[in-house]
């Protein structure tokens, strides 16, 4: 706990009171007494918005893509397997963001973070096939042997940016 406290010492200066709304829960020091609950919530949101504006650290997000969840950050390379229509050079916005966070706070979606808050952009950089996978079966003493070869389609994605917009807790616009 001591280490944890030390890590968050700086944060505790930033935050007047402890707590969170849909953001990180600050659970370290004894809560300061002079801040009432509703104020604290607002303060936390305001502080998070300020932190976003300052862009103090790199963001990461967990996105849902082709039935899998990926933890991505700026400049990541993803290899997606299976049939997927986008072509080389396409710029894509990954909308299904389940969680986004920076060094100082996390945004947790239920199940998704509100649309427009977190923007994850990616570029398709290559499409191709995987290495050949050999599917080999053999039964002993039964004269049974099968061999097949398969290659899966692979799409390589470069994550360009993971950006958190400066409007936590604004009323969500229904984009979808």
Partner 1 sequence: MVFLTVANWIRARGPDEFWRKRRIFRLAAHYTGRRRNCYSVAVRNVHRALAYATKARKLKKEDMKVLWDTRITAACEQHNITAFSLREGLGRADIMLDRKSLSDLAAWEPKTFHCLAAVAKEKLNLDNFIDGTDKKEPTGINLNLKDVMLEAWLKEKK
Q: From 34-42, 76-84, 86-94, 152-160, give the range in contact with partner 1 by CB under 8 A.
A: 34-42
Among 45, 48, 51, 62, binds partner 1 (CB under 8 A): 62
What is the residue-wise DSSP string for 34-73?
SS-HHHHHHHHHHHHHHHHHHT-S--EEEEEETTEEEEEE
- For residues 102 and 51, the answer to whether their CB atoms sit within 8 Å is yes
Comparing C-alpha atoms, which of 106, 98, 11, 21 is closest to residue 59?
106
Tokens 């958190």, residue? Answer: 164
Q: Does 159 bind partner 1 (CB under 8 A)?
A: no
Which of residues 5, 55, 68, 151 is near partner 1 by CB under 8 A?
68
- 142 binds partner 1 per the rule CB under 8 A: no
In eight-state DSSP terms, residue 171 is P
125 binds partner 1 (CB under 8 A): no
d(CA 122, CA 86): 11
71 is a site residue for partner 1 (CB under 8 A): yes
For residue 74, give Cα distances in angstroms to 120, 126, 161, 176: 9, 18, 5, 25
Please select the residue that binds partner 1; options are 52, 99, 124, 168, rule is CB under 8 A. Answer: 99
Residues touching partner 1, count (CB under 8 A): 40
* Longest CA–CA separation in the chain, Å: 82
By CB under 8 A, tell whether 109 contacts partner 1.
Answer: yes
Is the distance from CB of 116 to CB of 171 less than 8 angstroms?
A: no
134, 141, 173, 176: residue in contact with partner 1 (rule CB under 8 A): 134
Task: By CB under 8 A, tell whether 101 contacts partner 1.
Answer: yes
Q: Is 123 in the site for partner 1 (CB under 8 A)?
A: no
19 lies in the binding site for partner 1 (CB under 8 A):
yes
Q: Which residues of the chain form contacts with partner 1 (CB under 8 A)?
A: 1, 4, 7-8, 18-22, 24-28, 31, 37, 40-41, 60, 62, 68-71, 98-99, 101, 106, 108-111, 133-138, 145, 147
């Amino acid at each position: 706990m001591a280490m944890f406290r030390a890590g968050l010492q700086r944060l505790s200066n930033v935050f007047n009171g402890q707590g969170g709304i849909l953001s990180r829960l600050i659970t370290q020091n004894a809560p300061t007494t002079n801040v009432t609950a509703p104020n604290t919530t607002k303060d936390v949101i305001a502080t998070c918005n300020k932190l976003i504006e300052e862009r103090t650290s790199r963001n990461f997000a967990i996105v849902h893509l082709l039935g899998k969840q990926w933890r991505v950050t700026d400049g990541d390379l993803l290899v997606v397997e299976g049939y997927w229509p986008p072509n080389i050079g396409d710029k894509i916005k990954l909308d299904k963001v389940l969680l986004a966070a920076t060094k100082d706070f996390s945004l947790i979606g239920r199940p998704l973070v509100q649309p427009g808050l977190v923007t994850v952009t990616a570029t398709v950089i290559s499409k191709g096939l995987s290495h050949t996978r050999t599917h080999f079966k053999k039964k002993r003493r039964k004269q049974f042997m099968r061999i097949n070869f398969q290659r899966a389609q692979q799409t390589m994605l470069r994550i360009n940016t993971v950006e958190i917009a400066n409007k936590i807790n604004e009323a969500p616009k229904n984009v979808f």
